[in-house]
Amino acid sequence: MTELSINGQQHRLELEPETPLLWAIRDTVGLTGTKVVCGIQQCGTCTVLIGKRSVRSCGITVGEVRSEEHTSELQSRTNLVRRLLREKKTV
């Protein structure tokens, strides 16, 4: 049993510790904003925030994510860029 906090919600997942975080987010939790493209940590479309650190979720397992860490799904690079631009305009 693995417990993850994703986007502020607690999830109890029946997954093996070596399951990629990407598959846990997409297939088990059902959040499909995290994309699957290369699968080798190169393209960045599967990037999520763990705490304040951005991580390629295809290259980290659910067993490597500590239960007290918060994982946030990044919906897409386009949305991230738009949000950062809005924040910059308000500064």
Q: Does 42 have pLDDT greater than 70?
A: yes
2-6, 20-24, 25-29, 87-91: the lowest-pLDDT one:
87-91
For residues 25 and 71, is the Cβ–Cβ distance under 8 A?
Answer: yes
pLDDT digits (tens, 9 = 90+) for 53-86: 888 999 999 999 876 566 776 545 566 677 677 7
For residues 25 and 73, is the Cβ–Cβ distance under 8 A?
Answer: yes
Mean pLDDT of 33-43: 85
Residue 41 carries which side chain, given as an amino acid letter?
Q
Q: What is the pTM of this model?
A: 0.73
Averaged pLDDT score across all residues of the chain: 81
